[in-house]
Every structure is written in C-alpha cells, then in structure tokens.
Structure 1
Amino acid sequence: MTEAAPRESSLRGTLTYGDYLQIDDGRRYELIEGELILTPSPGFLHQYIAANVGGLLRAYVDKHNMGLVLFAPFDVVLADNLVLQPDVLYLSRERFDLLTENCLKGAPDLVVEVLSPASGRRDRLEKSRLYLKHGVKEYWVVDPFAQTVEIFSAGEKGWLLAGAYGPEDTLSSPLLPGFSANGEEIFRLPEGLVL
C-alpha cells in the first residue's frame, strides 16, 4: 500500500507504531512521541563513518560472543508512539528476547548516532533524552565534521560523559570491558578520496 506522507500538523502527537507501519512512500521516518519525523538519507561521510564504527563494534562483539550489532535502518520501538532508527546499535545476548524479525521492542544496550547537519540537534538533545529515559546504557555521539566521539554512560540523573576522543586518541567503552579502538580508524576514509 502506498500513501502520501501524513501532514505533521494534523497528526502531531497522535500516531502509533501501527500507523507508522502503514506508511509506504519510500521515505525514512522516525516516530517521536507520536509525531512523524522525516529523516533524509544521510550523506557519504555519515554512512562511511557509521560503517567504520559499526565494523569495530561488530568485530569486538562477535569475537567475544557478546550479542549482536545492527545498522540503520532498523526500527527500535521504545514505546507504541516512539520508533527510532539509531545508526548503530549493540544488543547483549541476554536481551535477545527483545528482537523480532521486524524490529527491536525495547532499548538496545548501546546506541551510536553519527551527526548530520539535518539531525545533529535532535540526536544530541531530544533523542539523547529519549534513549536515556527508555533504558539505553551507553550513548555514543560521533561528529564526522569535528572528528570527535563522545561516549556517555547512563547515570541516575542523566548522561555522564565517560570520554571524549579525537582521531589521535584510543577510545574505550565502559559497557564493553576490554574494547578499545583507535580514533583514526573511526574517521579513516578511503585513500585518495577527495570530497
């Protein structure tokens, strides 16, 4: 079934996951507290860096048989009116019961958002708060333009900055004991590529 994108003004705050599943217009959306938000396709730099981060996480998680790492687009249903698509997510083996063929029904253990000009503010503020509220344990904010990775751990009153890293640093994750990655690997682009 194909239908036009809903007008936000008339449907603000009223949509559910069931409504979200009926939209088939070829565009990507997230559902934030019942409001449909268009998420434009990310650019090359965003996608390449997200793949770098995801590849490093997946290699570590697979090596230690800890769970799985998934990439967007994949629905994370945090509530009936809240569906997000993090760029990269880690789900521990103990929480596999949240996984279905079509979505993750609950919070991943770790979420990575790679900032884009269109989504940076939402990723840093609104989505960050929602991830914390719904039980994400660790949140990574990757800025491809500033070449920084900020890693936050969930605290009782909010996110706690566990570390901020650049290409010259070795980053680590409080949630994944023994994980480390060279920041240069995260921001590495193919040799000879000029954007």
Structure 2
Amino acid sequence: MEGELFLTPSPGFSHQYIAANIATLLRDYVEKNNLGLILFAPFDVVLADNVVLQPDVLYLSRERFSLLTENCLQGAPDLVVEVLSPASGRRDRLQKSRLYRRYGVREYWVVDPAGETVEVFSASEKGWLLAGVYGPEDSLASPLLPEFAAPGAEIFRRPEGLTV
C-alpha cells in the first residue's frame, strides 16, 4: 500500500462467512443481469505501481473487463467490499478507503461483523458520500446497482446451530 508492505493475520470465521454471503448475493444479481463479475480475496487489485490491495469482494462491470488479467486486476473495480476485522478495521476505513476513491472505485461498502452493519458509500468529486447504513433488519440498497436489494439478515446469517 503506497510502497509499504502490510501483513495481517488471516481473517476469522465470521469475516469469511459474511464475505462469502455478500459475494453470493452480489454474484446472483450480477450474473442474472449479465452486468459483469464478482471476485473475492485473495485477488490482487493493482491501482498503481506501488498500490496493490486485496479487497474482500469486488464487482467489475463488463465495461471494465479490459482491466482483468489472469493474475490481477490492473485498475479500479466498480465496487469494493471490505469486511472489518480487528487487525485491519482502521486501515480499511482510512487508508484503503482513500486509495479506492483516489483510483476510481465508484462504490465502497464497509461491513462491520461485530456491529452487524454495512455502510454503503458512493464516490463524488468531494469524496465518499454515505448512501446508507444497513443492519440485519434492513434491505441493503446500492446506488451503483439500482435494482439490487440484499436482505441484511442474509448478509449476517450464520449456519444454524453453529456457535463460533
């Protein structure tokens, strides 16, 4: 990240399960509407020579397919989802958020597993604008994907009987 290497512990179960839930909901919508594709970590997003990030989930529209290589994405995806973890939360909210905006990401979701919230931000000339905050009782909406609606309960759902 801007020439500095960050090593963080592997994400925990809740982080991974929530990221998978979001990827599944997005993928179903994107594929049904033939809009592009959904990818998830670990997959490098090369925003600049010294800026390589691995968002938890990303959406790439068909219009940006030319940025995709076998090994990485050479440019900004349309949508980035970061699921917070204790080791990365501050960096996701500050440094990564600024980099995603600077290099052209159009929408940014910050998912807090502990608080069971998803903050949806839309890019503007002045920075990120908060488009909405969603919890388990809400239906998440995306300004970038106008007809997308994801039940918050599905985002934060865990397998029945699991106590992790």
Pairwise TM-score range, normalised by the shorter structure: over 0.9
User: Which residue number corresponds to residue 99 of structure 2?
Assistant: 130
Structure 1 residue ranges (4+ consecutive) displaced by more than 4 angstroms after TM superposition = none
Greater relative CO, 1 or 2 (CA 8 Å, sep 6+): 2
Paired residues for 1:15-164 under 5 Å: 32-164=1-133
- TM-score normalised by the chain length of structure 2: 0.99
Q: Which 5+ residue runs of structure 1 have no aligned equivalent?
A: 1-31
- TM-score normalised by the chain length of structure 1: 0.84
Question: Cα RMSD between the aligned structures?
Answer: 0.4
Identity of aligned residues (%): 79
Q: Report the alpha carbon displacement of residue 159 of structure 1 after superposing the two structures with TM.
A: 0.2
Q: What letter is aligned with 1:92?
A: S
CA–CA separation in structure 1 for the residues paired with 2:128 and 2:8: 24
Q: Report the alpha carbon displacement of residue 177 of structure 1 after superposing the two structures with TM.
A: 1.6
CA–CA separation in structure 2 for the residues paired with 1:181 and 1:37: 32
CA–CA separation in structure 2 for the residues paired with 1:83 and 1:181: 29
CA–CA separation in structure 2 for the residues paired with 1:61 and 1:105: 21
Question: Which of 139, 145, 149 does residue 170 from structure 1 map onto?
Answer: 139
Q: Which 5+ residue runs of structure 2 have no aligned equivalent?
A: none
Q: Report the alpha carbon displacement of residue 40 of structure 1 after superposing the two structures with TM.
A: 1.7
CA–CA separation in structure 2 for the residues paired with 1:146 and 1:48: 15
Q: How many residues align?
A: 164
